[in-house]
Structure 1
């Protein structure tokens, strides 16, 4: 046994790790963003990644913001929406500045329903909007048309109020037990949520039966939507992960990463003991594209779902999800090797999230800026791939750019000189 005295860095990182892994997220409600998300009771559209000025947004992320303005009824077409955004009559905000976390382009507007996820002990809250449905054409992938509008209205007027009624009737739904069990059923809770989505639906079934006499067809439609697609739980996984990561943020002297995110121009990380985003170039991607698409179409339009990797899920649990090789490419042997290498850059093993394939070893959790540089191993993330024309065109693995970690290490040394 070593008799080395822990350094201030060791102590700070252990505290951040403890906070991150002790989070107990519970779904307590589903409400329109304007009623519960800080700063959303005005004309504003939230989007993913570190904030940019409105005129800097481009491609699918820009189109998603425009679509959000039209969806709210503030404009009847794209030209009117752009005029409102140019004038500042409609503001653009960053999801994470409002305790939200955005999938791909994110796109929150005040009327959109959001999951309200709360840590049981601290009351820390995070919000995530709801999955639009199985169509590859979605607002968070930079498309807004009649089909997307109808999907969003179905979520707003049928799916969200029905699930909300069940959640309230139950007094909330603990999410961590679902996440733990689904990891043992082949999910990694980022690109694969098949088991978690079904387990979540099962939690609601008794309440749905009790509410059927009151809500009738809405219950039937909600069950159909919940069970027709395998990605519904992703937004709950993201909100749960943000609660945990935010609990770990702000620990003085900690070098653990508490968020990873994209916007259309860059990749960025947050570090517990450093204020603000640390920005770098886009990540490197290894993609498996859907039939009819090629690499020239790949584009970036934002994304904060790597919050799951930040707390030891997603790419940090991919060895437990062997079926992902059919979805995002590669081999299972490569997935296992990649996952095992991530233990070298993390503070510890998650006490709750376990990988059966590694003899129930806890997932590697708590990315340490300095270990990334020392080990020359970059964090990896499982993500959906967006196309320049909008929509999802594939899936794959991305590796965080080393420049973010180099900048973070330099900033840390300035803030905490030896």
Structure 2
């Protein structure tokens, strides 16, 4: 299923291989820097106070179900847009509270990906191409989180703590430092055992080190807030994921080149998985939910796994995550599998990508660049489906495990059918 693009391009002028080379070059040259932290209402283009963003290809409110629907309701309650659950549902039904897709606002969301007006977001600029990418803050390692479809007093209090304590300190530190270059930081983290999707331990430490001089300068003015913030960062290895996602979004959005068959976004919702192609604008091509394999936390079973959204596969879109999992063999303890399987999966990805990343490299492969630039043509020709590292959500809310997913073939078939219709079969 897809949404048609309104503009037409002269197919006779399109050289697909040249378009792909240009899209890849733009992606490879991206230079993402985090420059600020600010409330969503202040920096996301077109954001409105009655708007709640969520992950995946945009859908009308009635189409959202399960944990993703509950997360939207929780976001409305947190923002004070409704007095209780029934009031929130009625206001979503009437349109008083609006639902939007994160990608339409240059943002990406983890799991359900809820953004409300007051939530602080990282502002990342791609210095090469000038475009921005945004991602909100990690709530903490408690399994019950808003992005996993939960909302209660504990979730509310943790979100307020982010708004009132953590984000102001981190934002002030970033501004004092004049921004932080994320690409070299990510490249170093890969050499230290991360793939910056499901493992961010090294990247989080490296980021903390980058802002430490500014944090020390701030300590005399706000010792309690600085102490709480640095302790939070020190004990939450997943903190950096939101920065890697925003960096990936700012990088991938620069890929837009008419006629390209390279994938510029991957995401899923409670309804299914979806992709965009760099050469087909803002069109989403949707398919069924992804194929999964994972490791569950104690006390949980396979039948509990549910889909409630997720845009962290933007990291795989730019050659990270599952496309760099041979950097992070310790993930087997967290998400299952074996080192041999992880290495084999990573090597598979070279068959479906345009090239190798000039910055992100895999030590185990003699520092070969990560496979980067998923080509929809190659996915269909080889039958190899993109692999992604993800957290697994439970039907009753919360995280119940972690693992790998594969994108469904249908998205790529639909995308290439539209591409052929517009640009011809060549």
TM-score interval, smaller chain: over 0.9
- Match status 1:36 vs 2:43: yes
Partner of 1:191: 198
- Match status 1:264 vs 2:233: no
Alignment of 1:209-228 (within 5 A): 209-228=216-235
Give the gaps of 5 or more residues in structure 1: 1-6
* Contact in 2 for aligned 1:16/1:254 (Cα 8 Å): yes
Shift of 1:42: 2.5
SS in 2 for 1:273: coil
* Contact in 1 for aligned 2:76/2:88 (Cα 8 Å): yes
* Contact in 2 for aligned 1:256/1:368 (Cα 8 Å): yes
SS in 2 for 1:108: coil
Alignment of 1:61-100 (within 5 A): 61-100=68-107
Partner of 1:397: 404
Shift of 1:122: 2.3
* Contact in 2 for aligned 1:28/1:168 (Cα 8 Å): yes
Partner of 1:307: 314
Match of residue 388, structure 1, among 383, 395, 412: 395
For normalisation by structure 2, the TM-score amounts to 0.95
Alignment of 1:18-33 (within 5 A): 18-33=25-40
* Contact in 2 for aligned 1:260/1:307 (Cα 8 Å): yes
| Residues 185-234 of structure 1: CA deviation (Å, up to 9, x unaligned) | 00001000000001001111111111111111100000000001110000
Alignment of 1:15-414 (within 5 A): 15-249=22-256, 251-275=257-281, 276-414=283-421
| Residues 128-150 of structure 1: CA deviation (Å, up to 9, x unaligned) | 00000110110000000000001
Distance in 2 (CA, whole Å) between partners of 1:190 and 1:74 is 32
* Contact in 2 for aligned 1:47/1:94 (Cα 8 Å): yes
Distance in 1 (CA, whole Å) between partners of 2:17 and 2:62 is 42
| Residues 55-85 of structure 1: CA deviation (Å, up to 9, x unaligned) | 1100000000000010011222101111111
Partner of 2:11: none
| Residues 317-343 of structure 1: CA deviation (Å, up to 9, x unaligned) | 001100000111110000001100110
Shift of 1:407: 0.9
Distance in 2 (CA, whole Å) between partners of 1:51 and 1:299 is 19
Distance in 2 (CA, whole Å) between partners of 1:197 and 1:73 is 32
* Contact in 1 for aligned 2:56/2:311 (Cα 8 Å): yes
Shift of 1:121: 2.6
Distance in 2 (CA, whole Å) between partners of 1:123 and 1:89 is 34
Would you identify which runs of 4 or more consecutive aligned residues in structure 1 move more than 3 Å?
Answer: none
Distance in 1 (CA, whole Å) between partners of 2:17 and 2:47 is 38
Distance in 2 (CA, whole Å) between partners of 1:383 and 1:40 is 28
Distance in 2 (CA, whole Å) between partners of 1:359 and 1:405 is 31
| Residues 369-405 of structure 1: CA deviation (Å, up to 9, x unaligned) | 0111111111000000000000000001101101111
For normalisation by structure 1, the TM-score amounts to 0.97
SS in 2 for 1:363: strand
SS in 1 for 2:47: coil
Distance in 1 (CA, whole Å) between partners of 2:392 and 2:67 is 12
SS in 2 for 1:260: strand
Distance in 2 (CA, whole Å) between partners of 1:311 and 1:121 is 15
* Contact in 1 for aligned 2:49/2:116 (Cα 8 Å): no
* Contact in 2 for aligned 1:35/1:41 (Cα 8 Å): no
